[in-house]
Structure 1
Amino acid sequence: MLRAAQELDYRPNLMARSLRTKVTRTIALVSDTLASDPYAGRAIQGSLAAAVAHGHLLFIGETEGNPVIEEKLISDFLDRQVDAFVYASMFTRYVRVPKQLKGRPVVLLNCLTRGARPAHHQVVPDESAAGSAAADALLGAGHRHHIHLVGTPAPNVFAARERLSGIRAALAEEGAKLAGVVECDWWPDSAYDAVSRALDDGLAASALICLNDRIALGAYQALRDAGRSVPGDVSVVSFDDSELAAWLRPQLTSIALPHYELGWQAVEKLLGPPSDPAVTRLPMPVRARASVGRPPGE
């Protein structure tokens, strides 16, 4: 029988099987702008790979943050009888799981729900540990003083709050602290203007911790225009490990967002062995490059 099926190139009717078993072996990933972001798209790749490993198809829908589009997308996926959902966010933030998904298998990707006991698995980057790693990169090179943060650490931005907490904790363990904050938006032009003004006003920094790589790009340009070298005069460390980090000269030490692993782990929590809902914080690896050196004069 099996040999005959192979010779005839027989393929089972998956639609008929799903009607009989009520299992479609499909899952849906619903995100705001995750799918179209050139960096976070790696999370989609990780999700796809994990789905294939479990013999599932992955549908992807993007809402652009529009609740009407989100409701329509979820309804369409439910009409197609998908087995489970990954609910994802481009930026790590707190969310409310849509009412349509109540009682259904759901894992949150790069987002969290408030409350002491999570109702769903939640997979996020360990931003606090990343902040500690950024500070440790400078401490390990001998920096103890004149370390400045670049970027506005808005308390309502999860990554900013967590990164700053980790930075301060790691510095405090060594009896050090931030010398100040150069506030700016998280974009190169704003960082360039802010760092340039700070340097003109006499900023004496031996190291800068930039809250993302775009800020680091603006800081590099401001330092160059002020005649400061990286890392000879000022060491620079950053977060995200976007393509900018490898393009800059000298190449930028950056704490990587584990996009692929986030996507993989979210689907693994969804389709793997059952376990109690919990928050899983994934490590953010340090990509050590040439932008960190000894403090000037040492």
Structure 2
Amino acid sequence: MNTQKAKRVTIADVSEASGMSKAAVSLILNNKPGTRLSVEATERVRAAAKELGYRPNAAAQSLRSGKTRTLGLISDQVTVTRFASGMITGILRAAEERGHTVLIAETFGKRDQLAEVIQQMAHRDVDGLILGFMDSRKHDLKIPATGLPTILVNGLDDSPCTAVLPNELDSGAHAVHRVLETGARSVALIGAHQNAENDPTSYPSITRRFTSLRNALQESNLEVLGEWVLEDWNPTDGYAATAQMLADGHKPDAVICANDRVAMGVFQALAEQGLVPGKDLSVLSFDDEIIASYLRPQLTSIRLPYEEMGALAVELLLDGKLDPVEHQVEMPLIERDSMKAR
């Protein structure tokens, strides 16, 4: 068995294959501006490099630039949950487009491990850090001073920093507008989160979502038949709240759910009473998890833009736009079958 390591293709090899000087090849392959080389010469060099399988020497580039072209992603639970895989996809794709690779580490929700993992990333000479969070919360991260540019995705820190968040300030108003389009006259809200109600500053996204909902409802002509506060956002909580709502005699034209897991329980309670979303009433939710498309009828939901948030974090990091501000990413409404036609 031949285990001999394949010979690395060099600039000299590309030079010989293309008939161009090594200096010209280096300028073209390293995208040096102002080379004044012809389009034909550039295409010839790139074609030869592709045919030979040329790859830049990352170690040599790092020595010249002082950059490793590597980013570090540290998450609390993102890598081990299916809900936020889009965040990783967005980060990886945006990094690849900019010629960077990504090292990924996971704290498994153990906050005391964050400082240690950040130091490990620093020792690996990453050019910057992205801290990604499953739950959009305000944290006291106590980020160690490493000198690394750092951006938070789907979370905030007590200390000022650059953060990328979903635009929950408009999400509730978007939901109410969609309900009004169905001609609904009454609505029920199911899923205000108990912890967010008690401590709104620690739950910025949830608080903004429901503040936006309540403000939009006040400005509308919709009758709010009730608002059910839940201890958690699980199907069982959504089921119990909806069953109680129906038992109390409330029959809204529309139900707005806190998230898709709550909506799953809402669907179950409605089905027990022979009520079909999209036919007898409208049901709209938030997050657009995979279960939204598995429910029958399929659930209309306002998407958490994990992939777009991840991509924006990479762009801000690599472009050096690190002012301690929030960058809001719009949340699109994904239309399915659970809304009544007017």
| Same fold? TM cut 0.5 | yes
Confirm or deny: 8 A CA contact 1:148 1:179 kept in the other structure: yes
What is the rounded CA distance, in whole Å, between the counterparts of 1:58 and 1:221 in structure 2? 42
What is the rounded CA distance, in whole Å, between the counterparts of 1:49 and 1:8 in structure 2? 25
Q: Does 1:271 align with 2:315?
A: no
Q: Does 1:60 align with 2:104?
A: yes
Structure 1 equivalent of residue 228 of structure 2: 182
After superposition, the Cα gap between the structure-2 partners of 1:8 and 1:171, relative to the gap in structure 1 and judged at 3 Å, is closer
After superposition, the Cα gap between the structure-2 partners of 1:203 and 1:104, relative to the gap in structure 1 and judged at 3 Å, is same
Structure 2 equivalent of residue 171 of structure 1: 217
Q: Does 1:162 align with 2:208?
A: yes
Q: Does 1:3 align with 2:49?
A: no
Structure 2 equivalent of residue 138 of structure 1: 179
What is the rounded CA distance, in whole Å, between the counterparts of 2:329 and 2:249 in structure 1? 39
Aligned residue pairs total: 291
The CA deviation string for residues 48-97 of structure 1, in whole angstroms up to 9 with x for no partner, is: 11111111111111101213432222121111111110111111111234
Confirm or deny: 8 A CA contact 1:168 1:178 kept in the other structure: no
> TM (normalized to structure 2)?
0.78
| Unpaired segments ≥5 residues, structure 2 | 1-11, 17-21, 23-48
Q: Does 1:208 align with 2:255?
A: yes
- Report sequence identity in percent: 37
Confirm or deny: 8 A CA contact 1:196 1:226 kept in the other structure: no
Q: Which has the higher helix share?
A: 2
Could you tell me which amino acid in structure 2 is paired with residue 108 of structure 1? L
What's the offset of the Cα at 1:177?
Answer: 5.3
Confirm or deny: 8 A CA contact 1:30 1:63 kept in the other structure: yes
Which among 188, 197, 207 is matched to residue 148 of structure 1? 188
Which among 218, 226, 248 is matched to residue 295 of structure 2? 248
1:1-298 aligned within 5 A:
1=12, 2-4=14-16, 13-19=57-63, 21-101=65-145, 103-114=147-158, 118=160, 120-145=161-186, 147-153=187-193, 154-155=196-197, 156=199, 157-176=203-222, 178-184=224-230, 185-272=232-319, 274=321, 276-293=323-340
What is the rounded CA distance, in whole Å, between the counterparts of 1:17 and 1:110 in structure 2? 33
- Structure showing greater radius of gyration is 2
| Unpaired segments ≥5 residues, structure 1 | none
SS in 2 for 1:86: strand
What's the offset of the Cα at 1:152?
Answer: 3.2
What is the rounded CA distance, in whole Å, between the counterparts of 2:112 and 2:151 in structure 1? 21
What is the rounded CA distance, in whole Å, between the counterparts of 1:152 and 1:171 in structure 2? 15
Which stretch of the first structure deviates more once superposed, 76-85 or 181-190? 181-190
After superposition, the Cα gap between the structure-2 partners of 1:9 and 1:222, relative to the gap in structure 1 and judged at 3 Å, is closer
SS in 1 for 2:309: helix
SS in 1 for 2:154: strand
Report which structure shows greater RCO (CA 8 Å, sep ≥6).
1
After superposition, the Cα gap between the structure-2 partners of 1:8 and 1:232, relative to the gap in structure 1 and judged at 3 Å, is closer
Could you tell me which amino acid in structure 2 is paired with residue 205 of structure 1? P
The CA deviation string for residues 135-164 of structure 1, in whole angstroms up to 9 with x for no partner, is: 11111111232x111113333433321111
What is the rounded CA distance, in whole Å, between the counterparts of 1:286 and 1:186 in structure 2? 20
